[in-house]
Structure 1
Amino acid sequence: MTYGTDLLMEEVSYVAYHFHWSFDQILDLEHPLRRDFVSRIAGMNAAVNAQAEEQFGRAGVGAGANSSAGDGW
């Protein structure tokens, strides 16, 4: 089974955006470790979004307010 290019690019972009790592640094990660980083970033985003919703209400969350998943991924 091969890992889809689109999914790989989504993961790399997601980690690069949040951690500011280079493309090569992220590709050098083993797949399970890269997925772990994606999961951890999603958890951080969910916590930040929940705190913003609690503090400001749904309208104060911004562009993420329209996300159905609420975890930023």
Structure 2
Amino acid sequence: MTYPPGRLHEEEAYIAYYFHWSPDAIRDLRHRERLGWVHEISRINSRSYEEG
């Protein structure tokens, strides 16, 4: 099973937007690690929204 290229691009863009990491640095992450950062950014955003 392959990972959909569109989904990979979305994850890269999401992390790059919030953390300002380079595309190469993001692509070097293992899948599970990249998803962990996506979830962490989402959690931070949700908490910020709830507090705001």
Give the structure-2-normalised TM-score: 0.98
Structure 1 Cα separation of the partners of residues 47 and 31 of structure 2: 24
**For the pair shown, which has the larger CA radius of gyration, 1 or 2?**
1
Residue 23 of structure 1 aligns with which residue? 23
- Name the Cα RMSD after superposition: 0.4
Give the structure-1-normalised TM-score: 0.70
Residue 36 of structure 1 aligns with which residue? 36
Higher RCO (CA-CA < 8 Å; seq separation 6+) = 2
Q: Detail structure 1 runs of 4+ shifted over 3 Å in the superposition.
A: none
Identity of aligned residues (%): 42
Residue 63 of structure 1 aligns with which residue? none
Counterpart of 2:46 in 1: which secondary structure?
helix
Segments of 5+ residues of structure 2 without an aligned counterpart are none
Q: Does 1:46 align with 2:46?
A: yes
Report Cα offsets for 1:30-63 as digits up to 9, x if no partner: 00000000000000000000011xxxxxxxxxxx
Segments of 5+ residues of structure 1 without an aligned counterpart are 53-73
